[in-house]
Each structure stands twice: as C-alpha cells, then as structure tokens.
C-alpha cells in the first residue's frame, strides 16, 4: 500500500489521495486480521514501535476518540501518556492550553493527539509544533479522524462511497464532524445533502454551496442512501440564541420510527456520537438494523491504528 509522509494531521486537506487510500485499506486489513487472529501486531514490525510514545491531550470531553486512540496505539505496541483530567493538571492553577501544549512538546513524545475547544490562531500555532499533531476534534473547525471512521463505515456497509447520497441532519453550524465529512466525502465522490434549521446552517456558505438543501426531513430521507445525524452542540449554543427549543428541534429533525419507515431498506444510519436519544434519534431508530453507530465506534480503533501507522511511518505487512 502506498503512503506518503504527513507531518501534522489537522484537517482532511493534509491528506493526499494516497494517504486516504492507505488509511482505508490499512483499516480494512487491521479489522480482518483482528477478527481472524485477535491482534494486529503481526501486521507491523514490532521493532518499529518499540520505545515510541504518543501523548494525548484532551481538553474537552470524549469517550470514543480518546479510548479508540488508546486502543489503537496499544494494539501497535506504542506507549500512551494521557492528559485529560485537567482539574489535576496545572491548567487548574491557571496555566493556558498553549503553555500546557508547549510543556508536552518539551517532553518530545513521538506524536501529540489533541482535542480542544479551539483557540485564536490554533492552526498556525499547531503547525509550528516540532512534534507531529493529530486533530482529535478542534473547536468547530474539523474532526478529520471521525470523518475517516464515517467514510470507512459507509464503504463497509454500502459497498462503496462514490455516488452515495449522504444526508447530513442537524447542527451543521457547530459541527467539526460535518466540516471534515464535507471535504472527505466530496473528495471520495459522494453526493451530500443537508437538512438543518436555518439558525444551525453552515456559516461558510461558499464551502457548502454545492450541498443540496432539503427543507423537509421527509424529502431528504427519501433522497438519501446514508443519513448522518449530528449531535446538537448545546454547549456551543450558550454563546448565541438559536431561536428555538429542543422540543421544536425534536419535532422537526429527530430520526424516529416514522422517518426510518421512509428510508430505503438497505440504507445506513450514522451518528458520530454521543447521541442525545429522544432529541436527535429515537431509541427505536438506534435499535434499527440500519443504524451502525456501534460499528462506527468499533471502526474507530482500526482507523486510528491506520492513522498512527501513517503518521509514524510504520511499514505494514499484509499477511
């Protein structure tokens, strides 16, 4: 499998087509080998990962992304150090995120995986890091590793990505997942649609100009092969008045049984998580066989092992 080196991975545009191909194919290999042999360590030369250390810095809550990076590195024999309970870091004593980051750089890990709410000049600050950085969710900017999980899951469940009609539903305005999926899925040949309240529609109209807008969820669902629900990011709404209640959101944008009845029988329902049951998605929709939320979580570990392999330039052996 071809790969070319990537220094920091802050957004989808940092990846070449060969890099994307490498990540998707390596993830498929890792998943197959893990199912057959219960491990993936034989897919690499373990001498290559001996002594490597990946530092996680999570300044915003996470379950899936953090745990899957930990599993992904562990399966490759890479040590993890993790800073996430910031009440027990020196940030609780007033140190800034930027200074915290500089302290971690000074320890020279082989890579830093960062989640944070974003900050002024984040991109130029992170690009100047002498240690490679992976974006594990940065403000409302991008969440590129999640988009790779989503693309991999679509490919696995629908057999292809090219030509697939993907309907993004909900809080596009605040969604770093949506921004990365727009870039990645478009590059891979999918057609994107969106169904979103006006108040939560994308700020960057130019970037989203080719995405078909559906005013009714019903019309969008009848069009779609894949539905991607987004989390309503209430923690970011506190900064502005969005002009409607969660009850109104639920009545117009929730995927429930009625919506699943309109959806194609071989369709794929995704949600990056964490899902707010009852607001974005009903219990019945979560239990529907077309809903692959847990597969997305599972695929997160294979995708992140592949990303770590790319970033640390590991040779992959295909048994």
Residues near ligand CP (CB under 6 A) are 62-65, 137, 146, 272-274
Closest separation between CB of residue 60 and ligand CP, Å?
Answer: 8
Question: Which CB, 163 or 274, lies closer to ligand CP?
Answer: 274
* Smallest separation, CB 296 to ligand CP (Å): 8
Going from the C-alpha of 149 to that of each of 94, 125, 185, the distances in angstroms are 35, 26, 11
Q: Dihedral of CA 102/142/144/138: which sign?
A: positive
Specify the DSSP element, H or E, that contains 236.
Answer: helix 234-237
> 69 or 214: whose CB is closer to ligand CP?
69
Terminal CA-to-CA distance of the chain, rounded, Å? 13
Residue 33 or 70 with smaller CB distance to ligand CP: 70
66 vs 191, beta carbon nearer ligand CP: 66
CB nearer to ligand CP: pick between 17 and 63: 63
129: Cβ contacts below 8 Å, ≥ 6 apart? 8, 101, 105, 112
Task: Say how far residue 108 (Cα) sits from the centre of its chain.
Answer: 26
Give residues with Cβ within 8 angstroms of 142, minimum separation 6.
10, 11, 12, 135, 176, 179, 180, 183
Residue that has been written with the tokens 């992959």 in this structure: 316
Choose between 137 and 170: whose C-beta lies nearer to ligand CP.
Answer: 137
Least gap, CB of 137 to ligand CP (angstroms): 5
Strands 133-138 and 111-116 come out as parallel
Give the shortest CB-226-to-ligand CP separation in angstroms. 16
Query: Pick from 274, 293, 227: which is nearest to 61 by CA?
Result: 274
Give the shortest CB-235-to-ligand CP separation in angstroms: 11
Closest to 181 (Cα-Cα) out of 166, 196, 200: 166
- Residue 273: CB minimum distance to ligand CP, A: 5
């Amino acid at each position: 499998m071809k790969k070319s080196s990537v220094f920091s991975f802050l957004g989808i545009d940092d990846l070449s087509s060969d890099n994307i191909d490498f990540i998707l194919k390596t993830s498929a290999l890792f998943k197959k080998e893990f199912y057959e042999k219960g491990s993936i360590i034989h897919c690499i030369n373990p001498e290559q990962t001996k002594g490597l250390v990946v530092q996680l810095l999570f300044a915003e809550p996470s379950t899936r992304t953090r745990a899957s990076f930990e599993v992904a590195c562990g399966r490759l024999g890479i040590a993890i150090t993790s800073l996430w309970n910031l009440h027990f870091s020196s940030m609780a004593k007033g140190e800034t995120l930027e200074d915290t980051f500089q302290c971690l750089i000074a320890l020279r890990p082989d890579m830093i995986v960062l989640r944070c709410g974003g900050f002024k000049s984040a991109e130029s600050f992170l690009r100047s890091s002498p240690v490679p950085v992976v974006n594990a969710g940065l403000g409302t900017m991008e969440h590129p590793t999640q988009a790779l999980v989503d693309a991999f899951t679509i490919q696995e469940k629908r057999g292809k990505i090219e030509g697939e009609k993907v309907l993004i539903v909900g809080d596009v305005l605040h969604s770093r997942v949506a921004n990365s999926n727009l870039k990645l899925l478009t590059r891979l040949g999918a057609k994107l649609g969106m169904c979103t309240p006006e108040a939560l529609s994308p700020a960057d109209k130019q970037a989203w100009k080719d995405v078909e807008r559906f005013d009714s969820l019903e019309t969008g669902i009848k069009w779609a092969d894949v539905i991607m629900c987004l989390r309503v990011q209430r923690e970011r709404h506190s900064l502005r008045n969005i002009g409607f209640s969660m009850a109104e959101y639920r009545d117009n944008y929730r995927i429930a049984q009625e919506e699943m009845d309109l959806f194609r029988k071989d369709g794929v329902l995704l949600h990056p998580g964490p899902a707010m049951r009852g607001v974005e998605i009903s219990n019945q929709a979560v239990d529907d066989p077309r809903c692959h939320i847990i597969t997305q979580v599972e695929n997160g570990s294979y995708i992140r092992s592949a990303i770590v392999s790319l970033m640390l330039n590991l040779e992959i052996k295909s048994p």
